[in-house]
């Protein structure tokens, strides 16, 4: 792992990833220190050419995906309602699919007797966090590929990575074919009408699923959560619209893995899915464009006026 968490690639040799300054003594995957036997040899290169290997080459792990699970009280556990956190930490070289991730369960939320633990919530949360490591992370959107395996987001030919890196968010910026900003005019609030800026995932199957679900043929895509901290905003479905879907930002009883999340898995270009296993999403179903494209206040007011 590099000190800046940013790797480079030797020109004309994509097999060598290197650090420009030095290699760290420890490589982390989320909150876990990765065992040395799981790691490739680290390289330090000068002028993008002369490369010196550091340390030893581990045998690696022969698996499709490795999940490191920890139970540590970290800074990300500080919010009182946080039960667990997750992150992906390694991408497959050819198609960019995540191949390693970490889930950390916050131990303070597990204290007490067995009867005091909500196991349904715990199981639902673990499923939720696994989906973050596989696909639902703002840091992965720029790596999505279409059904032919071609990246949605333009790549830098010199590195093979997406072209634009957002230093503030510390993620690569996805193409508008994946993530699109939409402005809703005359959004009704208690304080009056405003222009509301929202971000939507607009990949083909996601778009088709939400149009069918809401019965709104002009819906651009699935809206992302715009509230909460860095671990909630832009990494979950909008709670207002997808209430009990498992990938909304707060837990709801009877949460379901619906066809919407299955569509996102398929639209990433990394997974085949079976939609017959998707659970029904009842919230908002068949309520039309007025429900999905306007504020709660505007929609409720329109019903009260009738």
The reported pLDDT for the residue numbered 260 is: 98
Catalytic amino acids?
Answer: 129
Tell me if 39 sits within 8 A of 90, measured CB to CB: no
Whole-structure pTM value:
0.90
pLDDT at res. 6: 56
Among candidates 239, 238, 237, which has minimal Cα distance to 247? Answer: 237
Q: Please, which residues have CB within 8 angstroms of residue 65's CB and are 6 or more apart in sequence? A: 98, 99, 100, 101, 134
Task: List the chain domain ranges.
Answer: 1-62, 176-305
| Euclidean distance between CA atoms 181 and 199, whole angstroms | 5
Output the tens digit of pLDDT for each of the chain's 306 residues. Answer: 777 655 555 555 555 666 777 788 888 999 999 998 998 888 777 665 667 777 778 888 899 999 999 999 999 898 888 899 999 999 998 899 999 999 999 998 777 556 667 888 889 999 999 999 999 999 999 999 999 999 999 998 877 889 999 988 889 999 999 999 999 999 999 999 999 999 999 999 999 999 999 999 999 999 999 876 655 678 999 999 999 999 999 888 789 999 999 999 999 999 999 999 999 999 999 999 999 999 999 999 988 887
Token readout for 289 is 């464009």
How confident is the model at residue 234, as a pLDDT? 84
Query: Which pLDDT does position 116 carry in this prediction?
Result: 62
Fold of 176-305: 3.90.132
Q: Within 10 Å of residue 275's Cβ, how many Cβ atoms?
A: 12
Distance of CA 99 to CAs 6, 58, 94, 200, Å? Answer: 18, 16, 12, 26
Q: Are 28 and 5 in contact (CB under 8 A)?
A: no
The values of phi and psi at residue 41, to 5°, are: -70, 140
Which pLDDT score is estimated for 115? Answer: 62
């Amino acid at each position: 792992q590099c000190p800046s968490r940013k790797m480079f690639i030797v020109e004309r040799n994509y097999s060598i990833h290197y650090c420009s300054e030095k290699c760290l003594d420890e490589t982390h995957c989320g909150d876990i220190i990765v065992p040395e036997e799981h790691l490739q040899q680290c390289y330090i290169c000068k002028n993008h050419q002369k490369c010196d290997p550091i340390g030893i080459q581990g045998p690696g792990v022969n698996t499709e995906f490795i999940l490191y699970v920890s139970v540590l009280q970290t800074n990300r556990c500080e919010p009182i309602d946080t039960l667990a956190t997750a992150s992906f930490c390694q991408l497959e070289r050819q198609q960019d699919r995540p191949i390693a991730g970490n889930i950390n369960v916050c131990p303070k939320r597990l204290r007490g007797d067995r009867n005091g633990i909500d196991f349904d919530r715990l199981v639902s949360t673990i499923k939720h966090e696994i989906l973050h490591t596989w696909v639902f992370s703002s840091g992965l959107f720029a790596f999505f590929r279409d059904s032919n395996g071609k990246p949605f987001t333009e790549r830098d030919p010199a590195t093979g990575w997406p072209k634009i890196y957002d230093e503030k968010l510390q993620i690569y910026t996805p193409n508008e074919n994946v993530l699109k900003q939409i402005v809703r005019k005359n959004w009704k609030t208690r304080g009056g009408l405003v222009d509301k800026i929202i971000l939507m995932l607009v990949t083909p199957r996601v778009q088709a699923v939400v149009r069918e679900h809401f019965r709104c043929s002009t819906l651009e895509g699935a809206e992302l959560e715009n509230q909460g901290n860095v671990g909630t905003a832009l990494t979950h479905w909008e709670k207002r619209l997808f209430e009990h879907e498992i990938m909304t930002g707060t837990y709801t009883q009877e949460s379901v893995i619906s066809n919407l999340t299955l569509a996102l898995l398929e639209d990433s270009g990394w997974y085949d899915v079976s939609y017959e296993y998707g659970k029904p999403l009842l919230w908002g179903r068949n309520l039309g464009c007025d429900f999905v494209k306007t504020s709660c206040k505007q929609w409720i007011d329109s019903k009260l006026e009738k």
